[in-house]
Amino acid sequence: MRILLVSDLHANRPAIEAIREPFDVCLCMGDLVDYGAEPAPVIDWVRRKTRACIRGNHDHMVAQNVVTAGGSGFKYLSAATRPISRQRISEADRRYLARLPVTQFLTLDGLRIMLVHASPRDPLDEYAPPEVEFWKRRVEGLDVDLVCVGHTHVPYQLEANGVRVVNPGSVGLPRDGDPRAGYAVLEGERVEFRRDVELVERAFPLPEHAQKLRQEDAKLAVRGPLAHLPGQRRESAGRVGGLQELSG
């Protein structure tokens, strides 16, 4: 069985559509929305293509209409694109995000798998680095062969206490220095980390995508990060119900 692992799609339709990988089953580790300007097509792709998908922190925030507090970096980008995500999805899409499980267990070809966005200890928000000692504590008591995670936007695999941990990286916004869509293919005992070789040249012209974000930003009267130069003053997006979003 050929299993496609994807995570952190972040409303980047060109990136997800650029993946031409053949697969028998697709599993998604969440974060379908925010950062990008096209959440609805990404949600549709996930609903049509995946066997299972779990909820990421951004999916949760969009579904519950939590406003990000933060004046720089990815928090600021979240604040700028959160209204876009809310505006450009249907009520059915919002309910879909809200009902995604935070963890899911399944068995494929005898392989016992756990899906979780961040970590088994904190499914939505904990940043899980590629460190064996860190993961030894996280997989204690789990009766599984494989834990699939996302959230860090950086691909890795390791083994801890006899459990394999695989993070396929990010399709929509990689943070490992390579802008191409990142994903993993699991076949038997072998895990391959892959990048779409045509993504930068064909499917994701960065200036065009940046311009689309700026246009959507202006429509919603949100001061987005693309309108600022480094070092300029940035304003907080505020907060709702005392909740603040963690990055990821």
Tens-place pLDDT, residues 146-188: 999 999 999 999 999 999 999 999 999 999 998 899 999 999 8
CB-based contact 150:7 (threshold 8 Å): yes
Q: What is the pTM of this model?
A: 0.80
Dihedral-angle region of residue 223 (phi above 0 means left; psi in -120 to 50 means alpha; beta otherwise)? beta
Mean pLDDT on 82-109:
96
**Which residue has 């045509």 as its token pair?**
198
Mean pLDDT of 126-153: 97
Report the chain's mean pLDDT, rounded to a whole number.
Answer: 83
Sheet containing 2-6, strands listed edge to edge, beginning at the edge strand earlier in sequence: 52-53, 25-28, 2-6, 182-187, 190-195
215 — pLDDT class (breaks 50, 70, 90): low
241 pLDDT higher than 50: no
Q: Enumerate domains of the chain plus CATH numbers.
A: 2-102+170-227 (3.60.21.10)
